[in-house]
Structure 1
């Protein structure tokens, strides 16, 4: 049995598979940012204790830059407490003798799409993930491209507005990530009319789950379909900013295929 772990900014997922590669168990948790890395590690350790057998290998996709050779986390741009943490060693202590590989989550997704997914057969594949953050991964001849440590294909950290003496600047991730769009919706809500489909959807969700933080971006598509002009404006902005980022990718790497991926709900 093998164990796969996805550590993101809003969710934690663990899956096991059998010898044929079929998923046999799936565990999904919502990440509490206030608990930081310790909260996520506690959930992982508790889940491992539930497994009927100990995995022979563990693969991790982490939402942030990592040292893939050692399993050390460089940073998380969403959850505190990860910087410098030796995640590979921690997992080996949980299950002595198991093989562990820690990678950036977008890199993992890129490799999956290039070898088993929609980009199978292409030599140069660039993958973009749109979730709580905006990540990228590059695969060349079925091998991940790694830059200098910690080096990922971080499309999300390309500058839209360079920093200056009067401004901290703004990156692609700070503009179109899930959390960035959530914030934009929150700031626009007071200005929207009462009959706005986007405003009604957000307010209804707030009434049903008042303790839930974030997630407003998920209402953009249904509001767009209902003719909401603000939802249309935000979706067009997301498309324009993403297209600009991908234009840089095309000129720098000239990939044969570009794959767009989103986080699971």
Structure 2
């Protein structure tokens, strides 16, 4: 599909980081946006800066009814849905043994169930108008879905779930006119870790070496228009995924060398 004037795009987690950068890019291309997040204050401020008319929607992706209501409201107001972006996510880094079940459930509810709820609610709308009007789904996973890291065991698990879900669903949608791209960001400048910077593990280099969200967004838009299966950014994410798929032990040694012992405490 081509993103252009009249494209109707619904984005979860649109108030900050990757979601916000994507909203700015799509609005600049003439798309009509459904900007969704739990709090609407930042969304209202964002919408006021964007060209065109857009729809601000209160949406808690961990609540199935909230997601369905937000997507239905956007589709009714915009006259349909063309691009569905499951982007909302959160982290709680730390050793699994020290984390609370509330933290673990929150990551599971937002990252994994939030993706399921979003895609399950939006997919029928995309299929109803395809193939005459092609549609697309974007699932924002993580490089942690390719190789999970210490202190991010459950976060990585939720991102791997997104990966496997997206890979299978892409095949199921073959020939329907609805495409699907899974995005694997590495360390991207965002507010994802603002609440936990004091306890980030030593292997994390996101503060000083993170890539700009705008550069990732350019890759996402190109992938949507080309119906690519995946986006890996920065490029090291693709290399890490390939090496880990070939030999987890080799990937551990690579990370140990590049990021230190905290990234791979065991090399056996």
TMscore range, shorter length? 0.3 to 0.5
Q: Which has the higher helix share?
A: 2
Q: Which has the higher strand share?
A: 1
What TM-score results when the alignment is normalised by the length of structure 2?
0.32
Bigger radius of gyration among the two: 1
